Amino acid sequence: MDPISTDDSMIAELRDGAQRLVADYTDHGRTRRMRRTLPGHDLELAATFAELGWFGVLVPEADGGIGLGLAEMATLVRELEKGLIAEPLLAQAVLAARVLVHAPAGPARSRLLAGLAAGEIRPALALDFDDALPTVTATDEGEGFRLSGTALSVAGAAGATHLLVPAQLDKGYGLFLLPADAPGITLSWLWRADDSPLGQLTLTGVTVPDEVLLAPPMAAEAAISRALDETRVVAAGALLGLTEHMLAMTLEYMGIRRQYDQLIGSFQALQHKAVDLYIEKERAVAALGFGLSRAIDPTTLPLAALRAKGRCSEAASRIAREAIQLHGAIGFTEEHDLGLYVKRALTLSAWLGNAGEQRRRFVSMGLALA
């Protein structure tokens, strides 16, 4: 049973709206044309997301958003990924948004969240690889700060209006807000497996006033840690959507491809493999349900995140490999649409930690001995 197939009217409305958008706007020719280009996603579609209020799903009502939860956002991206049109929601409307939500209250925070919900402000969180805090230092100059250093993994930087930059202060990392075009900021790009851009940020003596410090040490690190885990849960929903679509494509192909004058779907060995993949998908559904049910409580959120992200990453990776094989390898060619989904699954699986990384987190947190 699908854990988020409930009678909740808002979840149903979001699912239906996303399905209609996928039916109307999915265009894999456009997806191919946007590869290795900036910002790497359709700006008109992003504007449509803003009009529909989807950038404000996880923003509290008091700050101008809709004030919904992770289950609603996971439902949304799960459906949008079936059309490969979910960008840039995960990086900007989930990760960056939740960092702001968990940051201490203040005028700057409220203004940012309201702008994000309206689609006018697009923040991106600056990190290093493996989700580490970046090697950025902030020097207190009395009437402001001077920031220098690098952040090598900034998802959502392409098209971002603002950057949320953790920087080392005397007593830990603080969280700073910087306009993306501030003097002293340089962005370069790495291209991920699906040819989408990953920002690499260099700060060279960027001077900022005191008020851009959104969160002091301890509060900043706590907000980022919680937001990362919440984003892992939502990303698990996106991976599940890719998994479901790749499996559906494969089963459809098995029903039309003939070999030795028989449909390959009639071969018992392939039927058994298809059942195995269906079970793998259902395990991912259950893991997402577990993650969503535990993510509300901060004490159980880390376990919820690693289990959901790990299982859904593993399911997407396995079904991607098997789907290529069951397509007779044509799914690995440039011309076949399956390849687009495989590359997207590889990218999302790696982002914020793949299955192996989530198992390492499980052990490092002592949960394996609990």
CATH number of the domain at 246, please. Answer: 1.20.140.10
pTM of full prediction above 0.85:
yes
Full pLDDT tens readout for the chain, 370 residues: 576 655 578 899 999 999 999 999 999 999 999 999 999 999 999 999 999 999 999 999 999 999 999 999 999 999 999 999 999 999 999 999 999 999 999 889 999 999 999 999 999 999 999 999 999 999 998 889 999 999 999 999 999 999 999 999 999 999 999 999 999 999 999 999 999 999 999 999 999 999 999 999 999 999 999 999 999 999 999 999 999 999 999 999 999 888 888 888 888 998 999 999 999 999 999 999 999 999 999 999 999 999 999 999 999 999 999 999 999 878 778 889 999 999 999 999 999 999 999 999 999 888 665 4
Listed in order, strand segments (DSSP E) in the chain are: 123-125, 135-140, 145-154, 162-169, 172-179, 185-191, 197-208, 213-215, 258-259, 262-263
Are residue 250 and residue 314 in the same domain, yes or no?
A: yes
- Spatial separation of the C-alpha atoms in residues 109 and 140, rounded to whole Å: 21
> 51 and 61 in contact (C-beta within 8 Å)?
no
Are residue 358 and residue 258 in the same domain, yes or no?
A: yes
Task: Note whether residue 191 is domain-resident.
Answer: yes
Are residue 322 and residue 227 in the same domain, yes or no?
A: yes
Structure-block tokens of residue 366: 């002592």
CA nearest to 19, candidates 80, 72, 70: 80
Are residue 251 and residue 296 in the same domain, yes or no?
A: yes
Task: Note whether residue 67 is domain-resident.
Answer: yes
CATH number of the domain at 171, please. Answer: 2.40.110.10
Are residue 359 and residue 253 in the same domain, yes or no?
A: yes
Task: Note whether residue 2 is domain-resident.
Answer: no
Largest Cα separation within the chain, whole Å, is: 80
Residue 238 is predicted with a pLDDT of: 98
Task: Note whether residue 51 is domain-resident.
Answer: yes
Beta-carbon contacts of 154 under 8 Å, excluding residues fewer than 6 positions away, are 124, 125, 126, 127, 160, 163, 187, 198, 199, 200, 201
Are residue 209 and residue 162 in the same domain, yes or no?
A: yes
Task: Note whether residue 370 is domain-resident.
Answer: no
Task: Note whether residue 110 is domain-resident.
Answer: yes
Number of domains in the chain: 3
Residue 4 is predicted with a pLDDT of: 65
Question: Which of 162, 191, 216 delimits the end of a domain?
Answer: 216
Are residue 183 and residue 89 in the same domain, yes or no?
A: no
Are residue 277 and residue 341 in the same domain, yes or no?
A: yes
Peptide bond into 88 cis (omega under 30): yes
Are residue 235 and residue 337 in the same domain, yes or no?
A: yes
185: domain range? 124-216
Are residue 73 and residue 153 in the same domain, yes or no?
A: no
Instruction: Work out the number of other CB atoms within 10 angstroms of the CB of residue 205.
Output: 10
Are residue 141 and residue 74 in the same domain, yes or no?
A: no
Beta-carbon contacts of 235 under 8 Å, excluding residues fewer than 6 positions away, are 77, 90, 94, 309, 312, 348, 351, 352
* Coil/strand/helix, residue 349: helix
Task: Note whether residue 333 is domain-resident.
Answer: yes
Structure-block tokens of residue 85: 């049109």
Q: What are phi and psi of 150, to 5 degrees?
A: -135, 150
Are residue 197 and residue 227 in the same domain, yes or no?
A: no
- Spatial separation of the C-alpha atoms in residues 296 and 32, rounded to whole Å: 38
Structure-block tokens of residue 69: 């939860």
CA nearest to 250, candidates 165, 342, 144, 177: 342
